[in-house]
Amino acid sequence: MSDTIQISEAEGLGTITFSRPFALNAFDLEMIQALDAQLRRWRQDDRIQAVMLRGDGFRSFSSGADLKMIHQAGTAGDQAALAAFLRAEYRLVHLLATYPKKTITLINGIAMGLGASLAMAGRIRVVTDLSLFSSPECRIGLMPDLGAGLYYNRCPGKIGYFLGLSGMEIRAPGMLYAGFGTHLVPAEKIDLLRADNADELAIRPPQVPLAAIQPEIDRCFGQRFLAEVMTVLSSRSEQGFRDILGQIGRGSPLALLLTFAHLTRAAGKPLDEVLKTEYRITRRLLRQPEPLEGIRAQLIDKDGAPRWQEREIGKIATSTIEEYFAPLSDEPELYFEEN
């Protein structure tokens, strides 16, 4: 068992606590495998009626995958390691999302990447005033994946497009409005959470700024093409919309186009199909220099100035985007039979 997850059992509830605080509970392969194995054990254990995932402390639920490890493997050209890691991520998300027992995710802090996807896979999703959700994948040359095509399309209106393309942060009220959270529990009461008392502990959420601007979000992001979204945003004079445009502009044009195309195509699709498509796209992206450059700029050199191969959305051919959605021909497709 990995020492980066803590296991406890009480009153029919199995709790897994992510404990890698120096890395904001980012997942390495060992941590993913340990979590996967424990969930499978409890699935067969009649003593356990529900499972809960949480982060240690209040700073982070999980910031996602260990991107420095991904950068190291990508720089070394170790595609086998990248494929193994990615498959483990996807199979874990699928396992939790299809788990036959009650699942609770206590989002006590930051939730990004794989952390966000695991949080969204819980049936009961508890947020606190310290919760923070963000999907900044486009800024590192990747696309929001691991089920993002499903849960972003469940958001009201075009909120999912706004969050996926901009990577902007939302806190507990916005998470509840977007459907990412189901219960707001005061931070001082989260240790009282059990398998069946989330309703008792929950409090009424405050007003939601995200709800107030949704009509304008829908107008801006409800366009047929990403270029049209950018045009509409650039025509707005309000500072808030200029900020949104600026955040989108930090992303890789290739990743932004793939994100927009995927969210459009994933609407109404079942989980398995969404995950298999996201796996295809991400595997192909990890063969490109964009993610390595994005991770370098954000986490390695920390200069915040990625040098994307193509800096203009309009110069990336539609045929290039289509190639990312095609079935894999040089490696196995993603599968879930053993889940």
Q: What is the DSSP string of 274-305?
A: HHHHHHHHHHHHTTSHHHHHHHIIIIIS--S-
Is there a domain that residue 339 lies in?
Answer: no
pTM of the model: 0.96
Q: Check: CB of residue 278 under 8 Å from CB of residue 143.
A: yes
Interval 49-60 mean pLDDT: 93
User: Tokens 């390595």 correspond to what residue?
Assistant: 292
Residues in the chain: 339
Structural domain for 251, as ranges: 1-329
- CATH number, domain containing residue 169: 3.90.226.10
- Who contacts 58 (Cβ-Cβ below 8 Å, separation ≥6)? 108, 109, 128, 130, 187
Residues 190-220: pLDDT tens digits? 999 999 999 999 999 888 888 999 999 999 9
pLDDT value of position 338: 60
In the structure, what pLDDT confidence band is assigned to residue 29 with cuts at 50, 70 and 90?
Answer: very high
Is there a domain that residue 152 lies in?
Answer: yes
pLDDT value of position 222: 97
Is there a domain that residue 211 lies in?
Answer: yes
In the structure, what pLDDT confidence band is assigned to residue 3 with cuts at 50, 70 and 90?
Answer: confident
Is there a domain that residue 63 lies in?
Answer: yes
Is there a domain that residue 266 lies in?
Answer: yes
Is there a domain that residue 213 lies in?
Answer: yes
More confident residue, 102 or 209: 102
User: What is the pairing mode between strands 60-62 and 124-127?
Assistant: unpaired
Distance CA 194, CA 128 (A): 15
In the structure, what pLDDT confidence band is assigned to residue 58 with cuts at 50, 70 and 90?
Answer: confident
pLDDT at 333 over 80: yes
Looking at residue 258, its amino acid is: L
Task: For the chain, state the CA radius of gyration.
Answer: 19
Instruction: Give me the sheet containing 170-171, strands edge to edge.
Output: 60-62, 110-111, 132-133, 170-171
pLDDT at 45 over 90: yes
pLDDT at 339 over 60: no
Cβ-in-10-Å burial (0-12, 13-18, 19+) of 44 comes to: exposed
Is there a domain that residue 255 lies in?
Answer: yes
pLDDT value of position 1: 56
Tokens of 93: 């998300």
Task: State the chain's mean pLDDT as an integer.
Answer: 95
pLDDT value of position 215: 95
DSSP class of 257? H
pLDDT value of position 57: 80
Apex 136 CA angle, 207 and 315, nearest 5: 120
What is the tally of structural domains in the chain?
Answer: 1
pLDDT value of position 206: 85
Q: Which long-range contacts (CB under 8 A, 24 or more apart) does 193-196 make?
A: 193/52, 193/104, 193/106, 193/126, 194/11, 194/13, 195/11, 195/12, 195/13, 195/49, 195/50, 195/52, 195/102, 195/104, 196/50
Is there a domain that residue 337 lies in?
Answer: no
Interval 61-81 mean pLDDT: 96
Interval 16-31 mean pLDDT: 94
